[in-house]
Amino acid sequence: MLDRYEPVIGLEIHAELLTHSKMFCGCRVVDSVEAAPNTAVCPVCLGMPGMLPVINRRAVEFAMRVALALNCEIQNHNIFARKNYFYPDLPKGYQISQYELPIGRHGWLDIALSDGTTKRIGIRRVHMEEDTGKLTHRDEGSLVDYNRSGVPLLEIVTEPDIRSGEEARAYATRIRQTLRYLGVNSGDMEKGVLRIEPNISIRPRGSEAFGTRIELKNLNSFRALADGTDFELDRQAAVLDGGGKVIQETRGWHDTRRETFSQRAKEEAEDYRYFAEPDLPPLFIDPAWIQTMRATLPELPQAKEARYRIDFGLSPVEATALADDRAVAEWFDAAIGAGGKPKSLANWILNDLFRLLNERGLTISDVPLAPAALVELQSLVDRGTINLTTAREVLAEMLESGRDPTTIIEAGGLGQISDEAALIAIVDQVITDNPGPLTNYLGGKESLLGWFVGQVMRATRGQANPALVNEIARRRLEEKRDTAGS
């Protein structure tokens, strides 16, 4: 059906900022899931008469960092506005937000798509506001927790440049990653600190006019974002093909039934009756402050991925995996700085280290393993001090004890056996002890060479030099063949 229509999608992302206090008062920011209800509130965030808000400087700095990372123009002149609506999650009956003069405008973010192409998504605005309270609905009524009310919130609004659920997911995933890199948001969607709302419409292909849009809410995962968007595109196409009209409304996503459902009519901007917040003066941002914030930006994920590919020769998959989490990327960079070989280190981290961390439910920040210690382990393998099998055992012990690899190897007598005379004796003993496999090998089943090598490795507890064992075993077995032939 969508062959006849063009999807037009814009995303609104609401991200709570990781400040210690709320946007306009001194209340501490608490975990809205774990903290006892209504324990982090005051007359200001409860909207008591006569209470005056004060702008949180740290929240402004975080907002600037995000806007700069998203290539936005920072507006020197900012005004906060009252967004009026009467829901119980904001007791004063309005939300302090930004409307005509947001902190950031005209930005963009490049996203990578599954076909290997890159697409640029325009960002219309980045603005600051306060979060609302949390409603819990029950059969007998609704409960309100105002702990979250007044928490600094950043809204990031795209241009209508997105054309599919896949693109929506790619964009939202990159935004989440960027916010985490900047240290301004945890990215924990299950706790509601990052909320994504697509505005979805379709229009006949070739048309410039926008179709009627719906806003999709209640999305708690990237999968729900992609699936909900694609479902809604198909639903709207079916409505139009059936001769109906798409109604502008807010819809929810039912995660179990995998379908959208109507919630309420969608408001327009004029319905909120925006006007300048009379209790807050205009916010003027000095250019020097902007430059200070620009200087605090870390190397962002896109730049890291490009550097890993170009400077280190990593594959796109390896570069993306290493740059996904800032802590992992910085750990990898520190290991490179300690003299590690990039390609080998990437393999160690992505395969062995990640496997061990997953088995233990740990993150890279939880372990006592220093990057230089992994470089040392890598060097011991390269020099032939230990083989790869033993190195993996040593790495597991390093995670448990925090000891360096050399100490572990010496204490456990784990050094690689590369003495040829000693290995010949072990190979000969294995051949002698297994006449049946020897007969089969001499009879033409040469694949048994690997079996004999395995028996030697078992006899040496994995410490034998595998390449040397393979060479000796092949030579000694061929000598047996020659002897049997004569």
Distance CA(409)–CA(383), nearest Å, equals 14
Question: What is residue 463's predicted lDDT score, i.e. its pLDDT?
Answer: 77
* Chain segment 103-122, per-residue pLDDT in tens: 999 999 999 998 889 999 99
Q: ∠454-455-457 over CA atoms, to 5°? A: 65
Q: Taking a C-beta distance cutoff of 8 angstroms, is the pair 395, 354 a contact?
A: no
SS3 156: strand
Question: What is residue 2's predicted lDDT score, i.e. its pLDDT?
Answer: 60
Sign of the Cα pseudo-torsion (156, 160, 165, 171, in order): negative
Question: What is residue 409's predicted lDDT score, i.e. its pLDDT?
Answer: 84
Question: What is residue 485's predicted lDDT score, i.e. its pLDDT?
Answer: 63
**Amino acid letter for position 404:** D
Question: What is residue 355's predicted lDDT score, i.e. its pLDDT?
Answer: 95
Q: Taking a C-beta distance cutoff of 8 angstroms, is the pair 76, 287 a contact?
A: yes
**Amino acid letter for position 151:** V
Residues of the chain with pLDDT under 70: 1-2, 266-270, 415-417, 419, 484-486
Question: What is residue 483's predicted lDDT score, i.e. its pLDDT?
Answer: 77
Q: Quickly count: other Cβ atoms within 10 Å of residue 267's Cβ.
A: 12
Q: Taking a C-beta distance cutoff of 8 angstroms, is the pair 18, 169 a contact?
A: no
42 burial via Cβ count (<10 Å: 0-12, 13-18, 19+):
middle
Closest by alpha carbon to 384, among 353, 411, 415? 415
Query: What are the residue boundaries of the structural domains of the chain, listed by start?
Result: 5-291, 299-412, 420-485
SS3 373: helix
Q: Whole-model pTM above 0.95?
A: no
Q: Taking a C-beta distance cutoff of 8 angstroms, is the pair 4, 204 a contact?
A: yes
Distance CA(177)–CA(68), nearest Å, equals 15
* Chain segment 242-258, per-residue pLDDT in tens: 999 999 999 999 988 99
20 burial via Cβ count (<10 Å: 0-12, 13-18, 19+):
exposed
Of the candidate CATH numbers 3.40.1710.10, 1.10.10.410, 1.20.272.10, 3.30.70.80, the domain formed by 420-485 belongs to 1.10.10.410
Q: Taking a C-beta distance cutoff of 8 angstroms, is the pair 285, 76 a contact?
A: yes
Q: Quickly count: other Cβ atoms within 10 Å of residue 439's Cβ.
A: 12
Distance CA(325)–CA(362), nearest Å, equals 14
Distance CA(451)–CA(440), nearest Å, equals 12
